[in-house]
Amino acid sequence: MRVSARAILAAPLPLTMVSMSAIYDWATAGNLQPEPITVDIWRNLPEDFCRQVEVVNGQAIRCDAPTRQHQTVIRRIANLLESAATDYVATHPGACLDVNTDFDVTLWEVPASTIRRPDVTLHDCAPGDVRPLPASHVRVIVEVVSPGSDKVDRVEKMGEYASAGIPFYWLVWIADNHVASIDIHVLDHTVGAYRHFRTLAPEDEVSVVEVPVRIKVPWSQLSVLVR
């Protein structure tokens, strides 16, 4: 027997479905976001709320919790960038670079704010009370691709980071409990978009990138992510 889509939509949900999912209690008109989130509003929101969302054109977007593999890659990539930043500053006394993970970066404020929480960021130093960090401070942004984040990282964030003028964007790919490759994209200012610069892969024992600072990637440190 064929049942129309209208009949399916009109039919009441089984009691077990309703009682088992809290989303039916949450999805009320009173829970709709009352107004766009600006940078000023963001600064005054509770920190535990800000850690769970990003802001895209003024609208809060829920972030998925990272897996253990994802967290391990973030930590190890951050360590590599921090080592590179330390070496750079040692030979360029006037420079000051910092590395942070999972913190707020303002990509733009008008016409509506977009605030992302990149996995890893290499950026110019800034006082601790500068929050969110303006994109103009950022040299490199790294996103570790998760099974459900491919489109967001490869398309949406790539376009946003390019529009914000961030010079380098790394996409880190995981497979079989190790980092399979790292795609490095450089901003082409003539078109306002990224172009593929280089792909790093574990066939080399150590990969070296010379821009924006000299970064060494020992692949032995990017394997056996979960023990």
pLDDT in tens, 15-56: 454 456 888 888 898 889 999 999 999 999 999 999 999 999
Residue 98 has pLDDT above 70, yes or no: yes
Region 69-84: mean pLDDT is 98
pLDDT per position as a tens digit, 169-226: 999 999 999 999 999 999 999 999 999 999 999 998 999 999 999 999 999 999 999 9
Q: Return the domain boundaries, the chain.
A: 68-222
pLDDT per position as a tens digit, 117-127: 999 999 999 99
Residue 68 has pLDDT above 70, yes or no: yes
**49 backbone dihedrals φ, ψ, rounded to 5°:** -70, -45
Q: Which CATH class is domain 68-222?
A: alpha beta
Residue 214's pLDDT is: 97
Give buried/exposed letters for 154-185 (b at 16+ CB in 10 A, else e): eeebbebbbebebbbbbbbbbeeebbeebbbb
Structural tokens at position 114: 């977009």
